[in-house]
Chain A
């Protein structure tokens, strides 16, 4: 068994001038149903081994599959959200292979008539939005889990029969980074649509990658290898980068790429061959005689279309265009739906006077830096925020209309985050209103110049660096409530007179 040593990332850019990677992903997503795809056993992670089986899951004779309507609705939702063509009549097929985690001797899947075809998904690479085409999305059932113990395997069939969709991209991802971002986009989208929790540690989102390279300018695709079971965003990128370099090195030394399946070993940062790739017809697919055509009727389409939320990609654009949010902040805001919903609720709660066109900018700043920072510190999700969207909007309004300074704003934020109190009420009760009254400020400035007569003399003798000191003294005397800009103006005038 040959292994390939890890290669430094530094080697990548230079060889990529000559070689073009071509990558396609196959991503399995577990659908968030209560029961299995074709039988009524429950679906639960971490249940005692073999406690979630029934005669169908065990492949016992005399059983017939009956498909789960919820699984169909969730899959159609993903199809619609990716602008896929939804087949009014699709078909289940048997995919045959003999492995003990598949007691029936075949997996129920879809082959030549999948549920969804020709879709596309929004991928954010950095802050660049691109569309990656999806060849198909089909329904299938999961297999059981086997763990190897010496000469035997131990089998837990709890996972067998759990409904999945397999999403297959067109082979048009051009880098490991794009592949990792595509996986992030799928993860974000299925969570956004509440199709799946997509927890990778529980195997609810799994990824295989098809990787090939060709000389730039070449039309024909190179021989591809398949990387199996790369189950984190980081591993996807690393495994694919490693595979691209491995192939380039073989080709540059006159070698030939074998069409094979390789397993990524995350610990060693290497991949090794698993088995020679079986051709598709080795699975001897045929239409499942137990399952008549799967029909997507108007009722199902209506239910899906009626509940489809605005998607991350369009929101990413809208936040920048209509709300003045920076591309980086917009990307973070659409990373998960609860965060985007919180942001929109806060923007909607702002006073009508707030500047149109940039209403979201300051909200995004406070939300992403202060609030997320505090929530992370407390290990809380946005949904558990003690500060409501309306309170965050109020705080931003208080700062933008000059009632309080940004610096006082941070104190107000901390207090209100801790107490859940409304920022406006807190500012009133603590007398934190900014002092923007000239006469009031001048009185304080005169007092400071009397107390600090020596420094004033030094300043007037040319030590202009002391200016900040005087402003600081005013802030100290007012508990930070002096309007900083006005204070600077008045202080400058007072010192020059």
Chain B
């Protein structure tokens, strides 16, 4: 597996909404490349007869009855909000990208 390019790192950072300095980006590039390299090593193992596992515990999803319980009081819900207007959270507008 070839090393990641700087461009690929910047795309991944963009998707994760991270701003990286050139220095950080280079550190990330090297570390992510090393992780991918380990994955490539794992990929060499023949797993064609192994069922994919996403959960370590053999357990099915637990379901709950459709019963309403009290919601948080509005004051509590908004308690940690950096900004509010009446009972709404206030956040910066997310600019849609063309």
On A, residues with C-beta under 8 Å from B are 1, 33-35, 40-42, 48-55, 58, 66-72, 89, 91-92, 96, 98-100, 146-157, 273-276, 282, 284, 287, 289, 291-295
Contact = CB atoms under 8 A, between A and B. Distances in A.
Nearest to A69: B63
B57 interface: yes
B98 A292 contact: no
Interface stretch (B25-33, B35-43, B65-73): B65-73
Interface residues of B, number: 36
B54 interface: yes
Contacts of A70: 65-66
B88 A50 contact: yes
Contacts of B91: 100, 146, 152-153, 155
A41 to B, nearest CB: 5
Give 7 nearest A-B pairs by CB, closest first: A70-B66, A40-B69, A154-B88, A155-B89, A287-B54, A69-B63, A100-B91
Nearest to B96: A275
Contact of A293 (B61, B66, B86, B94): B61
Contacts of A273: 98
B59 interface: yes
B72 A53 contact: yes
B77 interface: yes
Contacts of A53: 71-72, 77
Given A49-B86, A295-B60, A34 B66 contact: yes
A48 B74 contact: yes
20 contacts: A33-B66, A41-B68, A41-B71, A49-B74, A49-B88, A50-B88, A50-B89, A55-B72, A66-B63, A67-B64, A68-B64, A69-B65, A72-B63, A151-B92, A151-B93, A152-B85, A154-B85, A291-B61, A292-B60, A294-B60
B17 interface: yes
A294 B89 CA distance: 33
A91 B74 contact: no
A284 B61 contact: no
Nearest to A154: B88
A154 B96 CA distance: 16
A150 B98 CA distance: 19
A91 B52 CA distance: 12
A301 to B, nearest CB: 14
A58 B77 CA distance: 8
A67 B61 contact: yes
B92 A67 contact: no
A292 B61 CA distance: 5
Given A48-B87, A67-B63, 8 more contacts: A35-B69, A53-B77, A69-B63, A98-B17, A152-B83, A273-B98, A292-B59, A295-B61
A272 to B, nearest CB: 11
A152 B86 CA distance: 14
Given A67-B64, A69-B65, A292-B61, A99 B90 contact: no
A55 B68 CA distance: 14
B93 A152 contact: yes
A485 B16 CA distance: 82
Contacts of B15: 96, 282, 284
Contacts of A49: 74, 86-88
Nearest to A89: B60
B46 to A, nearest CB: 22
A156 B84 CA distance: 11
Contact of B63 (A50, A68, A146): A68
Contacts of B66: 33-35, 68-71
Nearest to B64: A66
Contact of A289 (B16, B55, B86, B87): B55
Most buried by A among B64, B90, B97: B64
B7 interface: no
Contact of B55 (A52, A154, A293): A293
B77 A153 contact: no
Contacts of A147: 88
Contacts of B55: 287, 289, 292-293
Contact of A50 (B60, B64, B65, B74): B74
Given A151-B92, A155-B88, A292-B60, A34 B67 contact: yes
B18 to A, nearest CB: 10
Contacts of A98: 16-17, 94
Contact of A42 (B16, B61, B68, B98): B68
A205 to B, nearest CB: 20
